[in-house]
Structure 1
Amino acid sequence: MIHFYRFREGMKTLGVLDAIRMHPDAFRPLFCHEPSPLTADVLEQLFEIRLSAVGRNKRRAEECVVAFWRDYLLDVEEQEGPLQLGGILAFATGANDIPPLGFSPLPSVVFLHELPLRQGRHLPNTNTCIN
């Protein structure tokens, strides 16, 4: 609690605290994070896509999947799909919005070719604990 009082006393210096009290809406963006709206482009740029080396057979299949991923994001943005973009982000990261400081590490799309074939393996997996 002592840190709060020191912070408040520091804000009184040069009249900053009084200015905040008089114009709280002007100072709100400095103290409160307002998440920007999610778009298909924002999500596409947010995810790091890890492709196989150029020239490998796996790479062609991965590029096809990436094209479907981009189409899916656009469909969801246009509300043709059953999800909202925040739901996709929540599935992949556990967060409905991009945090103020971003993600570290960035969410990624990784292709798991090495796993043995089994029922349902073609569905996406996620690890929300990493962020």
Structure 2
Amino acid sequence: MIATSIVHGGPGPRFLSEMLYDHLMGKSTVDIEARIEDITDDTMRASLLEYGNDRQTFKSVADCWLSSVPKCCVGQEDNQDFMQWYFIYRNHFSIQRFKDGLSALNVIHALEQHASIFKAFMCSSVEQLTSTTLDNLFEVQLSEQGTTRRQEETRVLAFWRDYLLDTEDKQTGLSLPDILMFATGLSSLPPSGINPRPKLVFQRVSSFPCSRTCANTMEIPLSMTYEEFQKDMDFGIQNSPGFGLY
């Protein structure tokens, strides 16, 4: 599913640890640094963080949780042996099946050839969608220069950019991924970008925004004030069904 999503322009998983990703890309375990902080089991992580520098206690904590562990001695290098066993070696068969799945459509070869480019789309990241990124994503469709409609659209375009800033600052009833989902059907940007490029269109038919996700087109109302614009955008997007958002 991940391989198919990437090939067809969909989002990447963004849930792999950097250690697992490096291993999948063929990096030697000698060169891979494992961190206790990456352990997702809260109790075990807390115990190892507390006793990681103590030989006997570290070994005892590990033995309590695992039936078979490598010999752990004093020092970061030996702790690394345990961490690599915990993350990689004990999960060897599962990792191999995952890698076999990524071989569909030759995706694994593309990842190996462009590992640094795909890393941000495969690994877990705290990077968030920003108002600037979302603003630059859309191609704005403006009327002819000098027309009355162009003046109205320019005013509302300023509303739109203020709205994105307020949404980023949590001053609206939405999040930036909500807006992206409404316009494109995606809650995050895919590795290969969005094709066709999303368009921002101004319309008089409705007081509320509407979108055509097949064409990645979002139509926004020509409101008279920013307060009216924000209220109508919030209401329109919050009450739009589809794509599992509600």
TM-score after normalising by structure 1: 0.71
**Per-residue CA shift, 1:36-55, capped at 9, x if unaligned?**
42111001100111100100
Give % identity.
39
Higher radius of gyration, 1 or 2: 2
TM superposition score normalised by structure 2: 0.39
Kindly tell me: are residues 19 and 84 of structure 1, through their superposed partners in 2, closer, same or farther at Cα, counting changes over 3 Å? Answer: same
Output the aligned Cα RMSD.
2.8
Q: Which residue of 1 aligns with 2:179?
A: 88
Map of 2:193 onto structure 1: 102
Distance 1:60 1:100 in 2: 36
Correspondences of 1:51-130 after superposition (within 5 Å): 51-113=142-204, 121-130=206-215
Deviation at 1:19, TM superposition (A): 3.9
- Which residue in 1 is equivalent to 2:27? 20
What is the number of residues matched between the two proteins?
A: 109
Shift of 1:21: 5.6
Amino acid corresponding to residue 141 of structure 2 in structure 1? R
Greater relative contact order: 1 or 2 (C-alpha under 8 angstroms, separation 6 or more)? Answer: 1
Q: Could you list the runs of 5+ residues in structure 1 that have no partner in the other structure?
A: 1-15
Cα distance in 2, alignment partners of residues 24 and 102 from structure 1: 31
1:123 is aligned with what amino acid?
Answer: F
* Secondary structure of 1:37 counterpart: coil
3-state SS of the aligned residue for 1:54? Answer: coil
Gaps of 5+ in 2: 1-22, 35-111, 217-246
**Structure 1 residue ranges (4+ consecutive) displaced by more than 6 angstroms after TM superposition:** none
Give the match's secondary structure for 1:110.
Answer: strand
Cα deviation 1:52-73 (Å, max 9, x = unaligned): 0100110000011100000000
How much does 1:18 deviate?
Answer: 8.7
Give the drift of 1:111. Answer: 2.0
Correspondence list, 1:13-52, <5 A: 19-20=26-27, 22=29, 23=32, 29=116, 32=119, 33-34=121-122, 36-52=127-143
